[in-house]
Amino acid sequence: APKADGQIPLAQDERIVHTCSTFDCGGKCDIRAHVRGNQLVRISTINDEAVDDDMPLMRACVRGRGYRRFVNHPDRLKYPMKRVGKRGEGKFERISWDEATSIIASESKRLAEQYGPSSRHIIEGTGAVTGALNGVEFAKRLFNLTGGFLHAHGNPSTVNAMIGTIFTYGENPLAGSSLETLRDSELIILWGHNPAETVFGNSNHFFQELKRAGKRIIVIDPRFSDSVAAYADEWIPLKPTSDSALVEAMAYVIFEEGLQNQSFIDKYSVGVSEASLPDGVPKGESMLAYLNGDKGGVKKTPEWAEPITGVPAATIRRLAREYAKAKPAALLMGWGPSRHYRGEHMTRSTAWLPVITGNVGVSGGSAGAWNAPAYLRFPVHPDNFENPVGHEISFTQLNQAIADYQSVGPHNGLQGAEKLDAPVKMVMCLGSNYLVNQNQNINKAAKILEDESKCELIVVSDLYMTPSAKYADILLPETSFAERWNFGFAWGFGDYVRVSEPLLKPEFERRSDYDWLLDVARKLGVEKQFGEGLDEHGWVKKCWTMMQETYPDENLPNWDGMLKKRTHLFKSGVKTVAYQPNIDDHDNQPFLTESGKIEIFSKALYDMQDPAIPALSHYQPSPESFADKSLSKEYPLQLITWKPANRANSTMYNNPWMQEVKRQELWINPIDAQARGIKDDQSVRVINGRGVIEIPAKVTPRIIPGTVGLANGAWRQLDKNGVDKGGCANTLSSDLQSPIGKGNANKTMLVEVSVA
Amino acid sequence: MSQQSTFAAGEAIPFVEYDAVSDEQLGFYIDSSICSGCKACQVSCQDNKQLDVGQRFRRVYEKAGGGFEMTEAGGFTNSVFAYTVSIACNHCDKPMCMRRCPTDAIHKREGDGIVRINTDTCIGCGNCAKSCPYKAPQMNPKTGKADKCDFCIDRLAQGQQPVCVKSCPLHAIEFGPISQLRKKYGELAEVNGLPTAKMTRPNLVIKPNRGALKKPEHAQLVKG
């Protein structure tokens, strides 16, 4: 029998295709799909001999190994459908593609005429976004050709981290260095960073190498994550949302013991000492004044931080000394800690430590803040037409823009206008579960969507009847990555692009978003401009040509060459140290801030004169956290979420192998469980003022007392009493906005737990 | 064999004999010190062996322990540990499953020492599944027969490694003659959370997670 890269004995008619998925999966697995006839029969992965030392790609992770049950699933949608029951009930009947595309065409035209084109909205979810081609990009093209649409800025993943970093390091917020620079580190701190589960590009390759090389790795996390088990020498649990207090107490110790790098501070930063405050700012606003209690009278000692963070003062002192004395030391922030109400300020705080110890711009150091690689490259999407609608809402405002559009303004995230000119009347939700499941406070969101007089048309295309799909008026069966052309990118670290090709012919009446949007375009009379006469493969080739032009230094092969090469590694990002040019050649390449320096104190934030937006970001008790004295009386446990290894957000939730890998359960510490009479495996109710979840408990010391945890992305499954038996954390999350960027704060929530 | 991939999940695969693939007893090495518990090994095995939910020829067990104490100031000290161990079949020197099999369907091969279940002669009594302390043999509800890890003998026969060895993203599973693995990595074949190795003499070498060294107690298998 023929052999595939020496991997697996093959059947005579079995072919192997080197491909990748194009949903928003962090590792973008190297998939070798084994295909017989029109069936995906097995998955294998990269051969070790093919791994490149400069950009070592991981073997496929657990999600990639399970793709077969995602693509071949009996529950996949088969036909276009139209809602027949009340919206949200999930009752549909089969219709023809002609009827579906006619309704979409005529309704989008009617709504644009009646309310204006800005009544049309597109949700940018993560079901297909790491591919060059996806339904969202084509839907934008179609709307832009027919009057425009209301775009949303920001994203629930990183908006707070990005904004916090912009106000610290300037307009270049990519504060992460490439991973092989960690070989120069004396100490690595993963702060709320959990690559073992998120699968963050090729991070796990490096962390296992660093661990085997004996590097000291500390993990700071409320949860004993799988990254702690696999990599850490020490776990320091802290209470969620108290991160800034831990930073401050560490900074206090570093100054108290004279461990700071004074010349670095003086040369590169603003706001550490009083002398470096910008003109026009009164005394007492600097980091040192704050730490010494000159304002407010409280010294930010480890003893001050102990009851706030839960970390013993002695541990804080030891950690501070260890961090300051290790030269260099890397403090790597995860993105999760920023998805909180004070997430922007927490991100700014975490830059304090590298700044006062001179770890910014140094190989083996790190800048703290938004740990996104400085060399990151993105897929090139089809070129688009200008959107005639000039204003944008925050992605957190959609429900408000549907229910009460007049209350939407710049104060809560509207950009480019003083107020909205129309309510949102039509939503296109293509390859996204953000409409309901991944939205904030989903019981509230669902109630708004259920009102058919408000939003008049909801179009969803997906592979499955997701909790969001249930709210569709028109529900369309999309093709999977295994049934269409594309090229895909990883997130974050590990920089590469890979061909994704149709392995299988679509079964039943499944069609790609581009394919049916072309029908809609024809019915709206814009087919030629919309499609340019290209089929999907034609668009991939066109996008690839744009890739070649966008990244000329990479000498990308042409598309035919790429079809042979399959994966291109962007090696020009290897050995990139974030902000190194701004440090090494500061006079000629200052930071892209107003002062040209790292702004520990931000004059731009100071000028906002908002108590929720301090110019010197520091610890403030967060609403809906353990420190919320009034709400915590009723709901004393703080609920956190994390991205589990067995799915990508909510994608793959219903893959049976992945469900077997990790059960959806509530993590609760034995101390909290005992106080409530809860035993391991027992069904529990998790409740707050917004909703009720009922799922099994995992009683485990792997989470700090006072905090409970749920893996994110489980699908909401309401019973007849409105109890979510699926365990979707957004049943309980809030739609509070973060203060600066009006991003999501839905990871900050309080609950109570009891035996069900 | 190559025709495996034509079978849908759960259908019986005809039993195929293979010549010995080694003169020496084969075994697995598991580096639990770096295992993240991701279960890529478990799923790649299910994918390769065409297994449905419920049958896991390779499983990942989690053990956690220790606890928290509150300080006077309101902080927490902790002694928490947690780790995972990936276990398939250990092809034991004294296989409990074989002892309890009434039909000789379970046999230990000369040379390579692989313990296999002849699914053609298995009567589906379930004794093996009940008796193995590692839960390696498992009943297939569709065929009513037991089956388990056979070191991917079809792959071995073609000079390939077992699929789990080739799939672990952290390279925490190795495979080979057990004498060589023991020489390289030591003799440890049990950690807190696994059965005592004295019972069946598994052909297994474990590099323990630092958490595994905290308490020398032998428990039942923890949750997989």
Mean pLDDT of the region A695-708:
98
Residue A478 pLDDT exceeds 80: yes
**pLDDT tens for residues A721-740?**
999 999 999 999 999 999 99
- Rounded to the nearest angstrom, the minimum Cα separation between B193 and chain A is 15
What is d(CA A746, CA B187) in angstroms, rounded to the nearest whole number?
49
Average pLDDT value for residue range B19-28? 97
The whole-number pLDDT of residue B174 equals: 98
CA-based nearest residue in chain A for residue B82? A229
Quick one: pLDDT at residue A9? 57
Confidence of residue B214 (pLDDT cuts 50, 70, 90): low
Interface test with B, best of A45, A643, A657 (most B CBs within 10 A): A657
Name the token pair of A373.
Answer: 């690689």
Mean pLDDT of B158-182: 96
pLDDT of residue A573: 82
SS3 of residue A41 by DSSP: strand
CB of A74 less than 8 A from some CB of B: no
Compute and round to an integer the Cα radius of gyration of chain A: 26
Would you say residue A584 has pLDDT above 60?
yes
Q: Is the pLDDT of residue A23 over 90?
A: yes
A44 and chain B: CB distance < 8 Å anywhere? Answer: yes
Burial class (CB in 10 A: 0-12, 13-18, 19+), A63: buried
**Do the Cβ atoms of B43 and A1 come within 8 Å?**
no
Kindly tell me the number of DSSP H helices and DSSP E strands found in chain A: 26, 26
Interface test with A, best of B7, B33, B47 (most A CBs within 10 A): B47
What's chain B's Rg over C-alpha atoms? 18
Q: What is the nearest CA distance from A645 to chain B, expressed in angstroms?
A: 6
Chains A–B, number of C-beta pairs less than 8 Å apart: 168
Chain A residue with CA closest to B6: the answer is: A41
pLDDT over 90 for what percent of chain B?
A: 86
Q: At what angle do helices A135-145 and A513-523 cross, to 10 degrees?
A: 10
Mean pLDDT of A326-334: 97
Contact between B85 and B30 (Cβ < 8 Å):
yes
Per-residue pLDDT at B7 exceeds 50: no
Q: pLDDT value at position B222?
A: 44
Return the H-helix or E-strand segment holding A230: helix A226-231
Q: How is B177-204 classified by DSSP, letter by letter?
A: EHHHHHHHH-S----TTS--TTTT--SE
pLDDT at B223 over 50: no
Contact A442, A730 (CB under 8 A): yes
CA distances from A180 to A136, A202, A204, A231, A636 (A): 35, 11, 12, 16, 42
**Angle of CA points A209, A214, A219, to nearest 5°:** 80
pLDDT at position A88 over 60: yes
Residue A223 Cα distances to A104, A315, A701, A710, angstroms: 46, 17, 9, 11
- Contact between A532 and A582 under an 8 Å Cβ cutoff? The reply is no
- pLDDT mean over B96-121: 97
pLDDT in tens, A162-182: 999 999 999 999 999 999 999
Query: A208 and B77 in contact by Cβ < 8 A?
Result: no
Specify whether the CB–CB gap between A213 and A412 falls below 8 A. Answer: no
pLDDT digits (tens, 9 = 90+) for A520-535: 999 999 999 999 999 9
Q: What is the per-residue pLDDT across A207-234, written as a single tens digit (0 to 9) for each? A: 999 999 999 999 999 999 999 999 999 9
- Tell me what pLDDT residue A128 has: 84
DSSP labels, A138-206:
HHHHHHHHTT--BEEE--TTTHHHHHHHHHHHBS----BPPGGGGGG-SEEEEES--HHHH--TTHHHH
The answer for residues whose C-beta is within 8 angstroms of residue A194's C-beta and 6 or more apart is A221, A225, A226, A227, A334, A336, A642, A643
Q: What pLDDT does A5 receive?
A: 40
Q: Cβ separation of B168 and A59 shorter than 8 Å?
A: yes
Q: What is the largest CA-CA distance in chain B?
A: 67
Handedness of CA A248, A253, A259, A262 (dihedral sign): positive
Position A429 scores a pLDDT of 98
ipTM score of the complex?
Answer: 0.95
Band of residue B3 on the pLDDT scale cut at 50, 70, 90: very low
Residue A196 amino acid letter: A
The percentage of residues in chain A with a pLDDT greater than 70, rounded to a whole number, is 99
Average pLDDT over residues A290-302: 95
| CA dist., res. A452 & res. A402, Å (int) | 11
B135 has pLDDT over 60 = yes
- Residue numbers of A between 219 and 238 with CB closer than 8 Å to B: 224, 226-231, 233, 235, 237
Option in B40, B67, B160 nearest A65 (CB): B40
pLDDT of residue A313: 98
pLDDT at B6 (0 to 100): 39
Q: Does A36 touch chain B (CB under 8 A)?
A: yes
Which A residues in the span 668-707 are in contact with B, Cβ-Cβ below 8 Å? 669-671, 700-702, 704-705
Q: Which tokens go with A195?
A: 């690559």
pLDDT in tens, B28-66: 999 999 999 999 999 999 999 999 999 999 999 999 999
pLDDT at A324: 98
| pLDDT tops 70 at residue B15 | yes
pLDDT of residue A1 exceeding 70? no
How much is the pTM?
A: 0.96
